[in-house]
């Protein structure tokens, strides 16, 4: 395990009728984490994993535009990090922080090797992606509490600096 300390910013990436999607961007990176996920899994329609990608995409889109980010659509770990799943042989997942039914922060994701039942720690990539969000989540909620707000929109509107965090997370060595 290697411990990284990095600066990130929470960025709003999409707005819909029912909710807003945020992502995180490492300072110095050209893409936010959601873009990395979209570019990796959504570009190649001939790849069988594209069907799994489509399922996650459709869920995110419907939540944004119609249902809001209802807790029933997510599965979550004990550390509070949620995942949107493709529920098929690829077990593709997109990791998220549920802020409210109207706001979600999307991280990156990936496919879980070995199917259901194996922990995310069995993949270094997935473990890294969960750890990033798990490091941010408590800091974010405590900042929201300090600022007496219950949503990201107000938090960032109060002060743009509120969107910036220094996180430290463990990254397994592959």
Residues that bind other proteins (CB under 8 A): 11-15, 23, 25, 32, 34-35, 38-39, 42-43, 45, 50-51, 54-55, 57-59, 61-63, 66-67, 70, 72-73, 75, 85, 87
Q: How far is the CB of 47 from other proteins (least distance, A)?
A: 11
How far is residue 87's CA from residue 55's CA, in Å, rounded to a whole number? 9
Q: How far is the CB of 6 from other proteins (least distance, A)?
A: 18
For 2-139, list the strands marked E by DSSP.
Answer: 2-15, 20-26, 75-76, 82-85, 92-100, 103-111
Nearer to other proteins, 56 or 140 (CB): 56
DSSP state of 19: -
Q: How far is the CB of 7 from other proteins (least distance, A)?
A: 16
Q: How far is the CB of 148 from other proteins (least distance, A)?
A: 24
Asked if residues 92 and 86 have their Cβ atoms less than 8 Å apart, the reply is yes
Nearer to other proteins, 2 or 160 (CB): 160
How far is residue 120's CA from residue 144's CA, in Å, rounded to a whole number? 28
Nearer to other proteins, 52 or 167 (CB): 52
Q: How far is the CB of 43 from other proteins (least distance, A)?
A: 7
Nearer to other proteins, 6 or 62 (CB): 62
- Tell me the CA distances in angstroms from 107 to 135, 136, 146, 149, one per residue in order: 12, 11, 24, 22
Nearer to other proteins, 66 or 150 (CB): 66
Asked if residues 130 and 123 have their Cβ atoms less than 8 Å apart, the reply is no
């Amino acid at each position: 395990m290697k411990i990284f300390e990095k600066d990130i910013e929470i960025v709003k990436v999409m707005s819909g009728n029912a909710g807003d999607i945020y992502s995180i961007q490492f300072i110095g990176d050209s893409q936010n984490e959601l873009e990395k996920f979209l570019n990796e899994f959504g570009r190649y329609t001939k790849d069988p994993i594209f069907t799994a990608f489509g399922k996650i995409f459709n869920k995110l889109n419907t939540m944004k535009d119609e249902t809001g980010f209802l807790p029933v659509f997510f599965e979550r770990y004990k550390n509070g990090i949620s995942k949107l799943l493709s529920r098929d042989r690829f077990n593709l997942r997109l990791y998220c922080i549920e802020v409210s039914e109207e706001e979600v922060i999307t991280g990156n994701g990936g496919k879980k090797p070995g199917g259901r039942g194996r922990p995310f720690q069995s993949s270094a990539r997935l473990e890294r992606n969960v750890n990033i969000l798990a490091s941010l989540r408590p800091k974010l909620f405590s900042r929201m509490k300090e600022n007496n707000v219950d949503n990201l929109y107000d938090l960032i509107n109060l002060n743009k600096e509120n969107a910036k965090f220094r996180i430290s997370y463990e990254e397994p060595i592959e």
